[in-house]
Amino acid sequence: MKRSTTNIGEIGTTIEVGDYNFLFIRNMSATAVEELQHHAAVVIEAVNQDYVRMVATSIRANPSPDIYLKPIFLLKKDASETPLIDVLADDSVKNLSELESLLPLVGRIASRSQELTFINSISFEAQLITKIISLLYVRELKVIEPVPYTYSNICYYYPLLSVNFDHVDEYMALEILNIGEEDGIFRSEFVDRVYLCSTCSSGHLSYREVCPKCSSSDTTPDDVIHHFPCGYVGPMKDFSNQIDDKLDCPKCNKRLRHIGVDYDKPSIIHECNNCNHSFQDFYVNAKCLSCGDDRSVETLKATDIRRYHLTKKGELSAVKGLITTTKDIDEVIGTIKFDTFKTMLKYEIERLKQTEGSSNICAIHITNSSHVYSRLGSELQRGLLKDLVTVIRGNIRTADVIAFQSSSTIVLSMSDLPAKIGKRILNAIPELLHDLIKTRFDDLDVHFECRLVQLDYTKSDEVHLQELLEGYF
C-alpha cells in the first residue's frame, strides 16, 4: 500500500463554498492528505498528470474513510481525458467559480457516507472489501471496471482498488475481488485474460523464440538444400563457395542449376549461436521484465481479468457492515474482544475512584500496516499477529489483557503500575518485535508506534480511548 503520509509541511488552502470547505491543492505543492479529514472535498489543480495521479492515489489509498471517501475534483482548463485519474476523481471544473455547481454532489456523498457502518475486522482482505464497497456505495456506482493501463504490473488496473497496492503486489487486487465474489459481494463477467510471471506475477513480459536446448534467442536460420543427383542434404552454407555466390554441392561438386530441377529447399533449419544446437521448432519463452525470470510460456499463470458488479448483498454490507465468511481472522489466541476490553476499562476507572493507584492503557500501532499486509496475505498476516501477541504477552503481567482495536492497532492494559515503568516496558517491546519479524519474514519492514495513557478517573472510558487511539486507524 502506498505510504499515506508524504507530509513535508505545506498545507493546501481552504476554500469555503456554501456550507462546505474545499481543500485546494495547487500543482506540485507538498501536501499532507490528512488535511482532508477536516474538509468535505478536495480540488486538485490538474496541470501535471503525474502529480495529480500521485495526490489522487494517496487519497484513495489512505486507510481512513474520513479521507478516502472524500470527493476529488480536478481543476483543469482543457477537457483532456486521462482514464485512470478520471476514475479516481469524481468530477472536474474549468475554474474555481464553478465549484458551486458541485455542492449537491458533495452533499450527497457526505450524507451517504453517514449511512455506512464499519466493522473493524482484523483481516486485511475484509478491510479492503469494506473500502471498495464503501467507495461504490457512496458514489452510487455498481461496477468495478478493469482499465488497461501501461503502468500496471498486471496490465489492467482497478483504479479504486489497485491504488492500495505497491506496484509489485498489484495482482493481489484480483485475490481481493475473488474473495468478495465468493462472499457474494460481487458477481463478475469475463473481460480478458492476461499471462503473468509465475515468480512475481508481473504481466510485463517479453516474448521471443528461443533455442530449445539453451534458451538463447541468438539463432540464425538457414535454408536446407537437397541435391537430387547425389542425395546430399544440408544447410545452404554447406553449398556456398569462396569464389562466387553460386552454390556447389559439397558431395558431388556439381553446381546447382535450377531450383525444382536439380535441387530444392525442403525446409528451414535454425542454428543456435550459443550452443550450436540445430533445430526446426523454436520454443517460445517469456522473459519477465520485472524479475528477469526467463521461462517457457507454458509456465505463465493464465489469469482472467473480470468486470465486477456490486450485488444487493454487497450494497447491504456497505450499510450494515461487512461480515466476511471467507477470510476473516476472528480471534487471535491470547486476546480478548475489543468490546470486552472497553468494559474492563470502564470497571478499572470505577475501581480507581475508590482506591489509590496508577493504571494505564497502551496501544501498539503498526504505522505501515496496509503495506505490510498487502505483502503477506491473510494466512501470513494471522501468523504475524499471533507472534506479536506472544511477544507482548511475555512482557506483561498475567492480569493484564490484550485486544485488537483493528488489524493495525493492539491495545493492552497495564494495571497497578507506575506510568514510568509501564512506558519503559512498552518501549522495549518494538525491538523484540523487530527481532522476531526478522527471523520469520525476509525483507519485511514493519514500523511500530507505541502510546501509553495513564488512567484518570475523572475522565470517561471514551475519552481515554480517544486519546489513546487518536489518528490510528
Partner 1 sequence: MEELLDNYIRFLYTLTPKHFFEMFWFYFVFEFIRYFLLEFFVLNLAKVKQWVDRPKREDARRRLFIENPLVSILIPGKNEGKHIYKLVNSLREQTYKNIEIIVVDDGSDDDTPTIGRSLENARLITKFLRNDVRGGKASAANMALRFAKGKYIIHLDADCSYDLDAMENILIPFFMDENVGGVGGNVSVRNHKESLVTTLQAIEYFNTITTGRTVTSYLGIYRIISGAFGAFRADVLHQLKGWDIGPGLDGDITVKIRKKGYKIKFAQDANCLTSVPNTFKKLIKQRLRWDKSLVRFRMRKHKDVLFPNHSFRFLNFISAFENILYNVVLNFKWYVYLTIMLTFYRPLFVNIFITNVLLYTATNYVKFIMYSLYRPKAHASMSYFLVYLPCMVFYYGIYLRVVRTIAYLQELLFKKSYQDPWNPPKTSIHARYLGI
Q: Which residues sit at the interface with partner 1, rule CB under 8 A?
A: 212, 224, 226, 228-235, 238, 250-251, 260-262, 264, 266-267, 269, 278-281, 283
- Nine-digit cell at 5? 503520509
Cβ atoms of 433 and 446 closer than 8 Å: yes
Cα distances (angstroms) measured from residue 330 to each of 182, 344, 367, 453:
18, 20, 22, 27
Q: Using the 8-state DSSP alphabet, how is residue 242 labeled? A: S
Specify whether the backbone of 321 is left (phi greater than 0), alpha (psi in -120 to 50) or beta: left
For residue 112, which amino acid is it?
Answer: R
Instruction: Work out what residue 145 binds among Zn ion, partner 1, none; the CB cut-off runs from 5 to 8 Å by kind.
Output: none
Q: Which is nearer to Zn ion, 21 or 274 (CB)?
A: 274
Cα–Cα distance between 367 and 451 in angstroms, integer? 12
Letter string b/e over residues 117-146, b meaning 16 or more CB atoms within 10 A of that residue's CB: eeeebbbbbbbbbbbbbbbbbbbeeeebbb
Which of residues 75, 197, 329, 437 is near Zn ion by CB under 5 A?
A: 197
Instruction: Work out what residue 207 binds among Zn ion, partner 1, none; the CB cut-off runs from 5 to 8 Å by kind.
Output: none
CB of 223 to partner 1, least distance (A): 12
Instruction: Work out what residue 256 binds among partner 1, Zn ion, none; the CB cut-off runs from 5 to 8 Å by kind.
Output: none
Residue 252 is a binding residue for Zn ion (CB under 5 A): yes
Q: Which is nearer to Zn ion, 82 or 290 (CB)?
A: 290
Residue 119 is a binding residue for Zn ion (CB under 5 A): no
Burial (CB < 10 A; 0-12, 13-18, 19+), residue 41, is: buried
CB of 303 to partner 1, least distance (A): 24
Residue 225 is a binding residue for Zn ion (CB under 5 A): no
CB of 179 to Zn ion, least distance (A): 24
Which of residues 89, 109, 288, 372 is near Zn ion by CB under 5 A?
A: 288
Look-up of cell digits 468535505: 40
Q: Which is nearer to partner 1, 266 or 357 (CB)?
A: 266
- Nine-digit cell at 192? 480478458
Cα–Cα distance between 227 and 261 in angstroms, integer? 9
Cβ atoms of 4 and 22 closer than 8 Å: no
CB of 235 to partner 1, least distance (A): 8
Q: Which is nearer to Zn ion, 26 or 251 (CB)?
A: 251
Cα–Cα distance between 164 and 141 in angstroms, integer? 19
For residue 171, which amino acid is it?
Answer: Y
Residue 214 is a binding residue for Zn ion (CB under 5 A): yes
Residue 279 is a binding residue for Zn ion (CB under 5 A): no
Residue 155 is a binding residue for Zn ion (CB under 5 A): no
CB of 225 to partner 1, least distance (A): 10
Nearest to 362 by CA among 301, 293, 280, 426: 426
Instruction: Work out what residue 224 binds among Zn ion, partner 1, none; the CB cut-off runs from 5 to 8 Å by kind.
Output: partner 1
Cβ atoms of 112 and 138 closer than 8 Å: yes
Nearest to 453 by CA among 445, 444, 462: 462
CB of 250 to partner 1, least distance (A): 7
Where does this chain touch Zn ion (CB under 5 A) — which range of 51-59, 110-118, 271-279, 352-360?
271-279
Instruction: Work out what residue 463 binds among Zn ion, partner 1, none; the CB cut-off runs from 5 to 8 Å by kind.
Output: none
CB of 280 to Zn ion, least distance (A): 14
Which of residues 277, 295, 342, 393 is near Zn ion by CB under 5 A?
A: 277
CB of 273 to partner 1, least distance (A): 16
Binding site for Zn ion (CB under 5 A): 197, 199-200, 202, 211, 213-214, 216, 227, 230, 232, 249, 251-252, 272, 274-275, 277, 288, 290-291, 293
